[in-house]
Structure 1
Amino acid sequence: MAAWRVREARHADLTLVRSLLADTCEPGAVPSTELLTVAVARGFVRLAEADDELIGCIAAEMPSPGHARLSVIAVRTQHRRQGVGADLLTGLVEKFSLSSVEPPLISAVASTEQPAVTQLLLGCGFIGTRVMQSGTTDGPLHIHFQHKARVEYIDPDARHLVPTRATEQLKDSLAPSDHAVTALVTLGGEPAFEIARFEQDDPAALQSGEAAAGIAFSGSILAAITFLLGFAFSSTRFPDDVRLLLIGATFSTVLSLIVYASASGELARIRSNSFGKIMKWGNVLSEYGGVLPFLISLPVTYAQASGDPWTTMVLAVVLSAALGWYERSEFSIAHRFRRTPTEVALTVLTAASPTAGAALVATDVTSWPWTIALTVTLAARTWLYLFRRGAEADIAERRQWQIRQ
């Protein structure tokens, strides 16, 4: 457990923050009082405290809604290399990432004579993308770093090392837009940057493929649901509430097909850049309105077709276990969003639904309460992910960039 705690700064902390910055930073790197006051008011200053002493702080500003810039990060000398700076930076990045539907670009500038700051930025998911002109020819270079919010791949055969003091070579290496600093290493006893080339994907082609895959998947699910619905109407013993559940699944899956088609139209026009939002609607409607009701209805269908309660329950328990595993895996739609205890409870109810529904049908007990509970659960999850969560995020455990194998 960390020996310090991190919190947002308050207006009353400004004097302590100024004192910390004066003790740990060069005078030219200390933000003005006005800038710090605005940053505190907007929640862009975070503090690290240990034994009621201020040991570190980080501040940022947001000059535009789509861009946040780190202003300063400072840790007292005796508390450095313990993870304080990483905690402060990670917390601020998470705050910006969750602050809106479209997270802003988070950037920072560090000179080649600041290896500790550079190492901190690189360790927290930043990469150096370009050299910033400082107006002097004999001073250290300033490098622009930005946080990678999505996974990209680097070419493993297109990497090279450049000593931090080799300014002209560093400028040349970062001149192409697809090259960036990805690591700080030691070369011959001196610090050096590892420069890597990122593979340039075609966003239009990737989005087109994603939309086509969504349409094909929803079309297949719609065919399966339609077949099961036909069996339900042909059977006189099939519960009416399950028929209604399958009708709702059919309607939701058709909606997802319409949404995916709309995503294809958005891609063709390339006007509002809302492809991601449209795809989120299609993904959520397809999974919680079509796929899950269809899978959960399978044990009920088997119970009606076989009349064997034992095999029905075995099938239902296996399906519940499989759904539970899927919900916890990185393949599920839910894994792309931030989870709360309420959502975890809804996930458990969803996974337990096949067993509960099959037990009711196998014992000839009224299944209306189960169908209503399942419908409410899936509707609540759909509402949460569509209206209470932002855009789909990548898996948190993945690195911001990867080497393509």
Structure 2
Amino acid sequence: MAAWSTRAACAADLPLLRSLLAESCETTVVPSSPLLADAIERDLVRVAESEGELVGCIAAEMPSPGHARLSVIAVRAGIRRQRVASQLLTEMVKELPRKANELPLISAVARTDELAVTRLLLACGFIGTRIMRTGATDRALHIHYQYKSRVEYIDPDARHLVHVSAQAQLAESLAPSDHAVTALVTLGGEPAFEIARFEQDDPAALQSGEAAAGIAFSGSILAAITFLLGFAFTSTRFPDDVRLLLIWATFSTVLSLIVYASASGELARIRSNSFGRIMKWGNVLSEYGGVLPFLISLPVTYAQASGDPWTTMVLAVVLSAAIAWYERSEFSIAHRFRRSLSEQALMLLTAASPTVGAALVVAQTTSWPWTIVLTVTLAARTWLYLFRRGAEADIAERRQWQVRE
């Protein structure tokens, strides 16, 4: 267990922060007291403490809602090489997106001779994208690093090594916009950068394909729900509450189609960067308003059509197990969002619904309580993902880049 802990800095920490930075950093990189005070007030400073003493800190500034710049990282000499800086940087990268309405670009600038800082940034998901012409008189180059918040692919045959001291070659290697520093290695006993070329994706084409897939999927589900709803209206024994559930599923699926069409229009106009937010609405409405009610009502439909209680219950139990597996898998919409204990309880109720509903129909008892609980459960999950969770891409822990094989 680590002998230190981390937390957000408060105003009372300012004198201790100044002392820590004076002891651990060069004077030229230490932020002024007003800048530090402003960063603390905006919750952009985190500290590590041990036995009541500050042993490390990280500070950032956010000049615009879409860009955050790391100002300084400092750790006392006696506690270095204990992953203090790595922990502080990891926590800062996770916290910064929650302080902005949009996913911000998180960047930092480090000199080529600051090997410890460079190694830390690269290990925490940053890549060096360009040379910064700062006008400084020192001989070391300044490299701009940025945190990769989405997966991109590296061409495995387009990588090369450049010694840190080979500044002219380094500037030439980073000149193309698709090249970046991805690692710091040792070459011939000296430090060297690994320069890799990232494959360039076409965001418009990818988003267009995603919108088209959403429309096709919702259209197919709507056709299936409409067929089942027609059967429900022709059957005199079909429960009225399940009919209402299917009517709601039809309405929600049509609504998701409208949302997906809106995403296509947003993509065509390219007027704002709201494609992801619109797609989240379509995905959530399609799954919790259309797909799950349709699947959960299938055992009820089978019970009415077959009249066989044993096969009905076997089908219901299998369907409940399948829904439970799906909810826990990486393919579900729920997997894209942060989960809580209350959400797991809602997932359990959703998975148990086919079995409970089929049992009520087989027993020829009223199913209205089951329908109400199911409707409230799915409505609660819809509200949770739409209004209490961030963007879908904001949740999953993934590698920042991968080598395409």
Please confirm whether the aligned pair reaches a TM-score higher than 0.5, indicating the same fold. Answer: yes
Q: 2:69 matched to 1:69?
A: yes
Per-residue Cα deviation, 1:91-147 (whole angstroms, up to 9, x for no partner): 111111223341211100111111111111111111111011131465111110011
Q: 2:228 matched to 1:228?
A: yes
Contact 1:267–1:275 (Cα < 8 Å) also in 2: yes
- CA distance in 1 between counterparts of 2:213 and 2:82 reads 46
Secondary structure at 2:392 match in 1 = coil
Secondary structure at 1:271 match in 2 = coil
Per-residue Cα deviation, 1:374-401 (whole angstroms, up to 9, x for no partner): 1111111111111222221166332011
**Higher deviation after alignment, 371-380 or 394-403:** 394-403
What corresponds to 2:288 in structure 1? 288
What corresponds to 1:391 in structure 2? 391
- CA distance in 2 between counterparts of 1:335 and 1:28 reads 45
Secondary structure at 1:393 match in 2 = helix
What corresponds to 1:264 in structure 2? 264
Q: 2:45 matched to 1:49?
A: no
Q: Tell me the CA shift for residue 362 of structure 1.
A: 1.4
Contact 1:182–1:195 (Cα < 8 Å) also in 2: yes
- CA distance in 1 between counterparts of 2:299 and 2:265 reads 38
Q: Tell me the CA shift for residue 2 of structure 1.
A: 3.1
Runs of 5+ consecutive residues of structure 2 not aligned to the other structure:
none
- CA distance in 1 between counterparts of 2:98 and 2:394 reads 13
What corresponds to 1:123 in structure 2? 123
- Give runs of aligned pairs for residues 82-93 of structure 1, distance below 5 A: 82-93=82-93
What corresponds to 2:323 in structure 1? 323
- Give runs of aligned pairs for residues 5-16 of structure 1, distance below 5 A: 5-16=5-16
- Give runs of aligned pairs for residues 207-246 of structure 1, distance below 5 A: 207-246=207-246
Q: 2:34 matched to 1:34?
A: yes
Q: 2:149 matched to 1:149?
A: yes
Q: How many residues align?
A: 405
Secondary structure at 2:196 match in 1 = strand
Secondary structure at 1:346 match in 2 = helix
Secondary structure at 2:261 match in 1 = helix
- CA distance in 1 between counterparts of 2:341 and 2:39 reads 31
Letter in 2 for 1:294: F
Runs of 4+ in 1 over 6 A off after TM superposition: none
Per-residue Cα deviation, 1:270-323 (whole angstroms, up to 9, x for no partner): 112221111111111101100111111111112222222222222212211211
- CA distance in 2 between counterparts of 1:60 and 1:137 reads 25
Secondary structure at 1:285 match in 2 = helix
RMSD over aligned CA atoms reads 1.3
Letter in 2 for 1:160: H
What corresponds to 1:158 in structure 2? 158
Contact 1:150–1:394 (Cα < 8 Å) also in 2: no
What corresponds to 2:373 in structure 1? 373
Contact 2:179–2:196 (Cα < 8 Å) also in 1: yes
What corresponds to 1:200 in structure 2? 200
Contact 2:163–2:187 (Cα < 8 Å) also in 1: yes
What corresponds to 2:17 in structure 1? 17
Q: Tell me the CA shift for residue 189 of structure 1.
A: 1.1
Letter in 1 for 2:155: D
- CA distance in 2 between counterparts of 1:85 and 1:307 reads 66
Letter in 2 for 1:116: A
Runs of 5+ consecutive residues of structure 1 not aligned to the other structure:
none
Per-residue Cα deviation, 1:334-353 (whole angstroms, up to 9, x for no partner): 11122222222211111111
- CA distance in 1 between counterparts of 2:27 and 2:13 reads 20
Contact 1:330–1:395 (Cα < 8 Å) also in 2: no
Q: Tell me the CA shift for residue 264 of structure 1.
A: 1.1
Q: Tell me the CA shift for residue 78 of structure 1.
A: 2.4
- CA distance in 2 between counterparts of 1:348 and 1:125 reads 35
- CA distance in 2 between counterparts of 1:139 and 1:218 reads 59
**Higher deviation after alignment, 78-87 or 372-381:** 78-87
Contact 1:39–1:45 (Cα < 8 Å) also in 2: yes
**Higher deviation after alignment, 271-280 or 197-206:** 271-280
Secondary structure at 2:183 match in 1 = strand
